[in-house]
Structure 1
């Protein structure tokens, strides 16, 4: 999970165009869905809607010219899925991107 979070923060950093832009990291417990949620929101360049659905596809990248391989989000999505979690993306060109990492709360067998 550490690899996933570092990758999401690194992507947010790379989206920023200047030092005045922010990255906002928030975590909370979603009681209705019994999930822990980590939200990473940047004020960067944003992602075109046509690219959003492909972000977790292996080898898909919008950063090929700057050395992107298209594996970071693909591997991250796999790790999150292995933990029964979910990655969701919302973005607006020129305004930034918000990524939510949602993970179910695990219960001890004694609590079931």
Structure 2
């Protein structure tokens, strides 16, 4: 328990020392991803929010709304995954990847389980 408390103190000091810089870096993350056919381009920010959507005019040659919607969705999901990965890489020096991932997933059970494991010296 004491070792975990010391580890937490050290992690908080690191976050305090470099947290603002890391946060600023994470805020600037923008990822652009193109669809496999190159006709759709999406840009998302660090939070996975859509910043820009570009459609090549050739997309209208195939009037298939379902295919276009699926292409936009798939391309956006790939961009969001890359943005998330970049944010995790930025914070990895001060926050363990698994804990940050659980936090980003909103997975309270996993975050609490990791906390309990670390308190018991299992992680």
What's the TM-score, normalizing by structure 2? 0.24
What's the TM-score, normalizing by structure 1? 0.25
Structure with the greater alpha carbon radius of gyration: 2
